[in-house]
């Protein structure tokens, strides 16, 4: 489980539960896919690599890059993981 603010709240965390970027409730789906900041990042990935962004969390962490050459997929995964880590830690 990724410790987004909704998951931290389930563990009795009492901090602010809103997204740092847009002031909506922070969930994993919101943070990585639905937040306006995430949408800008996914648009950048789309432009840079000419691949369709994932449309849900299961796809993102599952079969999103199936069909892309293995070495290229590894590079994309590293870059996307770095972007997601940066968004999550803001």
Confidence at residue 2, expressed as pLDDT on a 0 to 100 scale: 65
Confidence of residue 35 (pLDDT cuts 50, 70, 90): very high
Q: How far does the chain reach from its first CA to its final CA, in angstroms?
A: 18
Expressed in percent and rounded to 5, the helix, strand and coil fractions of the chain are 55, 0, 40
Q: What is the mean pLDDT of residues 18-37?
A: 87
Residues of the chain with pLDDT > 90, as a percent, come to 16
Confidence at residue 85, expressed as pLDDT on a 0 to 100 scale: 82
Residue 1 has pLDDT above 60, yes or no: no
């Amino acid at each position: 489980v990724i410790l987004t603010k909704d998951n931290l709240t389930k563990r009795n965390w009492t901090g602010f539960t809103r997204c740092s970027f847009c002031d909506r409730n922070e969930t994993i789906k919101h943070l990585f896919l639905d937040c306006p900041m995430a949408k800008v990042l996914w648009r950048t990935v789309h432009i840079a690599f000419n691949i369709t962004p994932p449309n849900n969390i299961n796809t993102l962490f599952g079969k999103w890059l199936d069909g892309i050459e293995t070495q290229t997929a590894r590079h994309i995964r590293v870059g996307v993981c770095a972007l997601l880590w940066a968004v999550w830690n803001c």
